[in-house]
Every structure is written in C-alpha cells, then in structure tokens.
Structure 1
C-alpha cells in the first residue's frame, strides 16, 4: 500500500529510487593480471628468502644459538 501511495504522488522519484547505483562490473574490478601476478610472485620470493635464511641460521648455529639470536632481535626491536 505504501508503494502505491508513493507511485501516485511522485512516480519519477520512485523510479529513480529503484534504479541500481552501479552495475556489478563497476563494483567488482579485478586488478590487472600482470600486476597482481608480480605482487604475488614478489611476496612469495621474499617469504621464501626469509625461510631459507632462517633455515641457514638454524643449521649453522644450532637450535640454542638460533633461538637466542631470534630473542635478541625481537628484544632489540622493543
């Protein structure tokens, strides 16, 4: 009943209100394929290097010294 009353009083207003603000393609925009791929590969490379460095320190210094170095590094940050 409220819709019928609004349509009778001002149909132009009601028609404008029921229109979508934007289409689905405008709301969901995918990033460029090459840029997204480069960011993904860069992040994977940095993560791999950090893991490789941690493994190298582990094997070179042993577990006790490795954990002491990590603890000292975290303490130096704070």
Structure 2
C-alpha cells in the first residue's frame, strides 16, 4: 500500500516545500568546520596527554607516577 496514490498527489505536494537560503545560513558551514577542527584538536591533545600518562605509568610504576603528578600539580599552583 502506497502512502499517496498516483491519482492524488496532493499529499506529497503539500509535504514538499522549497527551502529559502538566508544570508546567515551561508556562514554556518564555516563555523561548523571551525568547531570540528577545534574539537579534533582538543581530542588530539587529550589523547597525547593520556598516552604520556600511560608511558609514565609503565616506566616509573604507580607510586612514582602519582608522586610526579602530585609534584607537577603543586608546582603549577
């Protein structure tokens, strides 16, 4: 059973409406690309930080790892 019969295309005609382009709609893809680039950059930096933390964990062990993190945090503040 079809949604709209071929003899009665009014159902499909009222559902299809043209979309007009507004001037502010044109800038949206550029903002989307910028947001995507920022998101990918932040994800990359976060991934590198996790990789560095895992490397320190495996190299120095858990006790020394936590001491180095605590010393680094106290040096920042």
Question: Given the two structures, how large is their TM-score scaled by the length of structure 1?
Answer: 0.58
The answer to whether the aligner puts 1:44 opposite 2:37 as a matched pair is no
Larger Rg computed on CA atoms: 1
> 1:16-69, CA deviations, whole angstroms, 9 ceiling, x for partnerless residues?
xxxxxxxxx8xxx78622111101100100000000000000000000000010
* Cα RMSD after superposing both structures: 2.1
Query: CA separation in 1, counterparts of 2:30 and 2:66?
Result: 40
- Aligned partner of residue 61 in structure 2, secondary structure: helix
Unaligned runs of 5+ in 2: 1-23
The answer to whether the aligner puts 1:56 opposite 2:61 as a matched pair is no
Bigger helix share: 1
Unaligned runs of 5+ in 1: 1-24
Deviating beyond 6 angstroms after TM superposition, the runs of 4 or more aligned structure 1 residues are none
Question: Given the two structures, how large is their TM-score scaled by the length of structure 2?
Answer: 0.59
